[in-house]
Chains A and B, each alone.
Chain A
C-alpha cells in the first residue's frame, strides 16, 4: 500500500525538476526540489512506496533523465498516468521506474488515497475498486524486470 500524490495533465519535466537544479552533481542533491513549482511539500511528504497518479502526457518537455530519477530516488513506487510523453517513458524504464498507463484511474481517485499496484496482474486497487492497466511491450518489461538498462546491459 502507498499513498497517491495526484497531478493533472501535461506535467512537464521542468515542473518535475526545474532547470536550475539539474546541474547539481547528484540525484540525491536534486531530489528535495521535486515538483517544487506544483507542490512545494511533495519531497518532504512522499514516502517510499507511494505513487504518483496523473492525467495525460505526463513528463512532456525536455529529455532530462533527472525527472524520473528524482522520483525513483524519493522512493516513488510507480507513476500511473493516462498517458506519458515519449522520452520520459523511455527514461523511466531505463532507470527502473515503473510507468503504468491506466485510463480510468485519475478521475476516480483523490490525493491521499491508499493504492496497491500489481505489475504481474496489470491492475491497481484503490478504495475497494480495481482498475486495469495497459501492459508494457515485452521488450520494455524485460528491461524493467532486470532493474533498468544498465543491469540489462551488464547481464547481456
Chain B
C-alpha cells in the first residue's frame, strides 16, 4: 500500500509508517506567532512553568495584523512581543516586513517536508512548498514553545486532480473558490487536501499559495503540493530525494478523489457571507460596488498586483469607488515599484498602502458601513469582517477585482 503526501511527511517526522486516524506526537520544525496572539502565548507559556523555548531559532514572531498601530491598545502587543523575544533569546522577529504567511515562505523559514504550526488558521499556506502546516490556538503554541512537540491525528486525504489549460480570465483563486463551493465549508474538515495534475504543475508557487491558503475555508487541516523545480527555485534550495518523494503514490488510499478539467473553470466569487457561497461572476454582473480591496496572504503577491495592473492599464477606477491595494510584503512592494506595476496602479487611482493584513482583518483603513459592497481578494467574507455586519463582501481573484474597480460594478474580467 502506498502513501499520500501527508502520510509521508508524518512518517519521515516520527520515523515509522503511520495510518490515517492514528494519534502521533510530531517534532515541530518551525512555529509562527503573530501580533494578535503574542500576549496570550506569552502568559500561557509562563503559566505552564516553562523557562526557556525548546529551540529559539525555530520560533518566528511576526507583527502584521496590527501594523502600524491604529488603536492605542495595539501597542501593548508590540511591547509584550518585544519583551518576549528579548527574554527568551528569539532572533526571528519581523516588525513591519509584511504578512506572516508570506514572510514564512519568502524569508525561507519553511522547507518541503517541514512540520509547522502557527497561531493563525491560514497557516495551511505552507503546503504550497510541500510542508505540513496548520493553525492552532495560543495554549497549544505555548506548549510547543516549551516542548517542541505536538500531538496530531494523521488525516485522511482528499485528492484534487486538475488537468488542462486555464482560460485567460481565470486565476488560481477561482479554482480554490470553486473547490470550496463544491466541498462546502466543512467538506474537508480534519482532512488533508492534495493537489495534483498538469494544471497545478504549471502554476507558480505564488498561485499554489493562494490555494493552500484558502484550504481552511473548507475546514482542511493542510493542503499539499508536491515540491518541484519551481519550489526549489522559490525556496532557494536543491531538492533532496526525500523531498522529491513527497508525491502521492499511485496506490495510496484517498477518502475522496475529485477531478477538474481546467478549461471548464470560469471566474467566480464567494458571495456574502460564507466562503462556500460561490457563484459565477457572470451571474452577479451589474451589481454596483463601493470599494475594491486587492491584497492579503491569499492574493497580495507580485503576480496578483501585476494581474490587476494589466487589467487597469490605461484605465481609471470608477468614480465613487475606492481601490485599496496592499502588497503582502515589503519585498513584493519593492518589486512592484521596480517593475512599474505600482505606477500603473497609482495612475489608475489606487490607494496603495504599506504591507500588512490591512482590510482583510478590518484594520488600518477602508472599513465599510451598512448597505455597502466590497469586492475583495482575501479569504473570508464573514459578517462584520470589514466593518458593520451589513456590508456585502464578495471574494474574487485579482483580475476580477481589478475589472470591477474600473467598471464600478461587478463584471466578468
Which residues of A are in contact with B by a Cβ distance under 8 Å? 10, 12, 14-15, 18-20, 22-25, 37, 56-57, 60-66, 83-87, 90-91, 94-95, 137, 139, 148-150, 153-154
Contacts and interface: CB of A to CB of B under 8 A. Distances in A.
Contacts of A66: 40
26 contacts: A10-B185, A10-B274, A12-B382, A14-B383, A14-B385, A18-B384, A19-B361, A19-B362, A20-B362, A23-B74, A63-B118, A63-B123, A64-B137, A65-B139, A66-B40, A83-B189, A87-B137, A90-B136, A139-B23, A148-B139, A150-B44, A150-B47, A150-B48, A153-B48, A153-B143, A154-B48
B334 interface: no
B382 A15 contact: yes
Contacts, number: 107
A153 B118 CA distance: 20
Nearest to A56: B186
Interface of B: 23, 36-37, 39-40, 44, 47-49, 66, 71, 73-74, 76-77, 118-121, 123, 135-140, 143, 146, 151, 153, 185-186, 189-190, 219, 221, 274, 276, 361-362, 380, 382-385, 389
Given A12-B382, A57-B219, A94 B151 contact: no
B186 A83 contact: yes
A25 B77 CA distance: 9
A102 to B, nearest CB: 16
Contact of A14 (B49, B71, B76, B384): B384
Contacts of A86: 189-190, 219, 221
Contacts of B362: 19-20
B353 to A, nearest CB: 18
Given A150-B48, A153-B143, A10 B186 contact: yes
Nearest to B118: A63
Task: Please report whether the interface of chain B is mostly helix, strand, loop or mixed according to DSSP.
Answer: loop
A90 B39 CA distance: 20
A56 B274 CA distance: 14
Contact of A22 (B36, B136, B274): B36
Contacts of B146: 153
Contacts of B73: 23-25
Given A63-B120, A91-B137, A148-B139, 16 more contacts: A10-B274, A14-B384, A19-B361, A20-B362, A23-B77, A37-B383, A57-B219, A61-B380, A63-B135, A85-B189, A86-B219, A90-B136, A94-B139, A139-B151, A150-B47, A154-B48
A15 B186 contact: no
B297 to A, nearest CB: 13
B186 A90 contact: no
A25 B47 CA distance: 16
A63 B125 CA distance: 14
Contact of A62 (B66, B120, B140, B143): B120
- Nearest 10 interchain pairs by C-beta: A65-B137, A57-B186, A91-B137, A63-B135, A14-B382, A63-B121, A94-B139, A37-B389, A62-B121, A10-B185
Nearest to B50: A153
Nearest to B363: A19
A49 to B, nearest CB: 24
Contacts of B384: 14, 18-19, 37
A99 to B, nearest CB: 13
A15 B185 CA distance: 15
Contacts of A84: 189
Given A14-B383, A63-B136, A149 B189 contact: no
Given A19-B362, A37-B389, A90-B136, A137 B189 contact: no
Contacts of A57: 185-186, 189, 219
Contacts of B66: 23
B185 A90 contact: no
Contact of B121 (A87, A94, A148, A149): A87
Contact of A137 (B23, B121, B186, B389): B23
Nearest to A23: B73
Nearest to A27: B40
A67 B228 CA distance: 39
